[in-house]
Amino acid sequence: MEFDTLLLSRLLTFITLAFHIIFATIGVGLPLYICLAELIGIKRKDPYFILLARRWTRGYIILVAVGVVTGTIIGLQLSLLWPSFMQKAGHLVGLPLFMETFAFFFEAIFLGIYIYTWDRFSNPIFHWLLSIPVVIGSSASAFFITTVNAFMNTPRGFTLVDGSFLNVQPLVAMFNPATPTKVAHVLTTAYLTSGFVLASITAYFLLKGKGHVYYKKALHLSMIGCLVFSIFTMLNGDFAGKYLAKYQPEKLAAAEWHFETESRAKLLLGGILDEETLEVKYGIGIPAALSILAYNSPDAEVIGLNDFPRDLWPPLYIHYFFNIMIFSGMFLAFVAVLYFVFYYVKALNSLHPWILRGIFIGGPLAMLAIESGWIMTEVGRQPWILVGLMRTGEAVTTAGQVFEMLILFTSLYFVLGLLVPVILIRLFSKKSAETEIEKRGIIL
């Protein structure tokens, strides 16, 4: 296959976003847990929770730094790689993009204050108050950027006359049909993933035999988040499926290899597709489940791909990414429920090694689900960059050096990707929780 500018630009966009989203997701979710830990610590006068908030914050700063620089990259790179897209879309989504930078601003200011003012207030609640703008700011920036992505899927809020946009209604563009489900799903999955990442790290220490109550408290707090948000994720994931059935049926059909329009449509797990004959081998079909996902009724009719011209079919491999996301969602919810059942049933041990192992793999699995979800959404939008208005091929840059830039950025992410874990491990092992507990003289 020839590596043309289009393919290279898509690849570069993919690599940048896939890298950014790791840090962005944690950037959105982690402040919530820090804020909760500090509040509990203050209310219950429990120094372990304060220490927890402090240690999480230290890790958070490193991750946010990488989130900020990769975010700056993607923000500018969209114009560098997709100039015609930004020229057109700029007229329509300038508002949420602009407001996103305000959200960053707000967050950055308070984060700066927050991390340098531990112990500076006589009443610790003032320090806690500073974490609230950080939580709001990071979630608000996720909200705004997600409305932009929603707009790319269901562009609304303008009239198209001879290729130019008239009667632009910025708020209608922002609150398009895809916005509610997308925003809800993106936010809850960010909280869910951050919860599992934290729980996963703690579970690792517990598995290694560290038995301090500090770890148990940390685990329990993060698991509460995991339970709550895994339930919300399944719920609004279901709504996201209903949104797709209504507004982007071709995406849902491609994700499910659902070719013939029919009622009692089955939900397909796994399988191998013969691209010639469009026959599926080895998959497991759950009867009528797709109809339920799409319309809440087993008898509902779900539109199949054959109703669409072939050149508008999204790539069919998104099926696997959809499967990975849903499997992970089920698994995470299962682990969280199990932990709480074991926690509340007196005879059982919620710190059983098998539960801890489940929690431990939950962290990476949640991240995998985030990546898969995005790949399924973004690749499933193809061939459109703005559905119905502009194809990806029309938007791409005409500059000739995309390949060199691809190498340049890939090397950068490679180096950062290696350094971040090294730095984090060094940061935390230099000052382990136990030594800090001792040093701060925390005795209960």
Partner 1 sequence: MSVEIIGITVLWIFLYGYLMVASIDFGAGFYSFYAKVTDKKHSIRVVIDRYLSPVWEVTNVFLVFFFVGLIGFFPDTAYYYGTALLVPGSIALVLLAIRGSFYAFANYGVRENSIYLFLYGVSGLFIPASLSIVLTISEGGFIVEEGGHVHLLFSELFSSTYSWIVVLLSIVSVLFISASFLTYYAQRAEDNDAFQLMRKATLIWSGPTILLSFLVFLTLRTHNLEHFLAMVGEFHFFALSLIFFIGAVWLIYKQRYLGTAFIFVALQYGFAFFGYGYTHLPYILYPKLTIYESITGDEMGISLIIAFISGLILLIPSLFMLFRLFIFNADYTKAQGNK
Site for partner 1 (CB under 8 A): which residue of 33, 56, 110, 243?
A: 110
The residues near 439 (Cβ < 8 Å, ≥ 6 apart) are none
The residue among 87 and 263 lying less far from partner 1, judged by its C-beta, is: 87
Does residue 152 interact with ligand HDD by CB under 6 A?
no
Site for ligand HDD (CB under 6 A): which residue of 13, 141, 179, 189?
A: 189
Does residue 186 interact with ligand HDD by CB under 6 A?
yes
| 260 contacts 306 by C-beta, under 8 angstroms | yes
Among all chains, which residue has been given the structure tokens 């509460």?
Answer: 224
Judged by beta carbon distances under 5 to 8 A according to partner kind, the member of partner 1, ligand HEM, ligand HDD, none in contact with residue 142 is ligand HEM
Cα Rg of the chain, angstroms: 23
How far is residue 379's CA from residue 381's CA, in Å, rounded to a whole number? 5
**Considering the complex, what minimum distance in angstroms separates the CB of residue 8 from partner 1?**
11
**Considering the complex, what minimum distance in angstroms separates the CB of residue 112 from ligand HEM?**
10
Does residue 409 interact with partner 1 by CB under 8 A?
yes
**Considering the complex, what minimum distance in angstroms separates the CB of residue 78 from ligand HEM?**
5
Which residues, in sequence order, are bridge partners of residue 161? 164
**Considering the complex, what minimum distance in angstroms separates the CB of residue 67 from ligand HEM?**
4
The residue among 30 and 245 lying less far from partner 1, judged by its C-beta, is: 30
The count of chain residues that interact with partner 1, using the rule CB under 8 A, is: 76
Residues 141-170 that bind partner 1 (CB under 8 A): 165-170
The residue among 107 and 256 lying less far from ligand HEM, judged by its C-beta, is: 107
The residues near 287 (Cβ < 8 Å, ≥ 6 apart) are 264, 266
DSSP-derived pairing of the beta strands 390-391 and 284-286: unpaired
Nearest C-alpha neighbor of 204 from the set 43, 2, 407, 433? 433
Nearest C-alpha neighbor of 174 from the set 251, 95, 262? 95
| 3-class DSSP state of 423 | helix
Residues 245-304 that bind ligand HDD (CB under 6 A): 251
| 253 contacts 245 by C-beta, under 8 angstroms | no
Question: Footprint of ligand HEM on this chain (CB under 6 A)?
Answer: 10, 13-14, 17-18, 20-21, 24, 27-28, 64, 67-68, 71-72, 74-75, 78, 82, 85, 104, 107-108, 138, 141-142, 145-146, 148-149, 152, 186, 374-375, 378-379, 381-382, 385, 392
Beta-strand (E) ranges in 167-298? 262-263, 267-269, 272-274, 279-281, 284-286
Give the pair of three-digit tokens for residue 114.
Answer: 């927050």
How far is residue 41's CA from residue 184's CA, in Å, rounded to a whole number? 29
Give the interface with ligand HDD as residue ranges (CB under 6 A): 153, 178, 182, 185-186, 189, 192-193, 233-234, 237-238, 240-241, 244, 251, 325-326, 328-330, 332, 366, 369-370, 373-374, 377
